[in-house]
Amino acid sequence: MTTTTSSGPPIPSGLTDPEIDDLQNYLDTLENSMNMEVIDGFFCALICGPAQVQPDEYLPYVFGGQMPDFDSDQERDEILGMLSVHWENIESTLSKNETYYPFFYADMEGKVTANDWVHGFMQGVDLRKQDWSDLIGKDKANELLTPVLALHEEYLQRSASGEDTTIAAEERENLVKQIISNLSALYQQYANKQGGAPRTLH
């Protein structure tokens, strides 16, 4: 059983808790679909990244590899509308150079691993990996991505071995704080490359 947290104060322009539940419940009906934490990381990478990625390319990843067969136009509009609200909340916050508090799942003790979030972020990076090459070099990653890559390495190790987390709680907390503080700088890093226009879902 998990609870959800945005790891910070409420963001008034984002989805409501019932909307998040509705969206996650729908995603749970689709095989291999992303959960909300993965989506949040995925969207953050696409919004912050150096190259625009069109919805018809990235939305299928959200739903497990292909667009779903919605039961009705109304259902389609509701699901895509909630995703759009979430996207626009991230973009609006970062474009104002304000702190965006990512969506993380927490356990019953309120502890966050952030592994799903960084997995989603790296999926977004992989869609345009060559364009991120100035931050992910052959020898050393830029410090803006260091905490993401550290937690993602743990994610990959856990996926391969099935073992528990390997990063100490205090170190993990510091890495998560660094991710939050770095998001705005990441957005600004590539603002000119994306033309300065709002990076909307539609």
Average pLDDT, the chain: 87
Kindly state whether residue 200 falls inside one of the protein's structural domains: no
Kindly state whether residue 201 falls inside one of the protein's structural domains: no
Kindly state whether residue 198 falls inside one of the protein's structural domains: no
By residue count, the chain amounts to 202
Model pLDDT for residues 122-154, shown as the tens digit of each residue: 999 999 999 998 888 655 557 899 999 999 999
Kindly state whether residue 183 falls inside one of the protein's structural domains: yes
User: What is the number of domains present in the chain?
Assistant: 1
- Of 116, 130, 119, 146, residue with least CA distance to 49: 130
Kindly state whether residue 40 falls inside one of the protein's structural domains: yes
Span 24-41, mean pLDDT? 97
Kindly state whether residue 169 falls inside one of the protein's structural domains: yes
DSSP SS3 for 31: coil
Kindly state whether residue 195 falls inside one of the protein's structural domains: no
Pick left, alpha or beta for residue 91 (phi over 0 → left; psi -120 to 50 → alpha; otherwise beta). Answer: alpha
Going by the DSSP 8-state scheme, the letter that residue 163 receives in this structure is: -
How many H helices and E strands in the chain? 7, 2
pLDDT number for residue 102: 95
Kindly state whether residue 61 falls inside one of the protein's structural domains: yes
Packing angle of the helix pair 115-127, 55-62 (nearest 10 deg): 150
Going by the DSSP 8-state scheme, the letter that residue 5 receives in this structure is: E
By CB atoms closer than 10 A (0-12, 13-18, 19+), residue 151 is buried
Distance CA 173, CA 177 (A): 6
Name the residue range of residue 84's domain.
3-189
Q: Give residue 7's pLDDT band: very low, low, confident or very high (50, 70, 90).
A: very low
* Other beta carbons within 10 Å of 160: 8
CATH number at residue 61: 1.20.120.740
Distance CA 30, CA 25 (A): 9
**In the chain, pLDDT over 90 holds for what percent of residues?**
69
Model pLDDT for residues 150-199, shown as the tens digit of each residue: 999 998 888 887 777 679 989 999 999 999 999 999 999 888 666 544 45
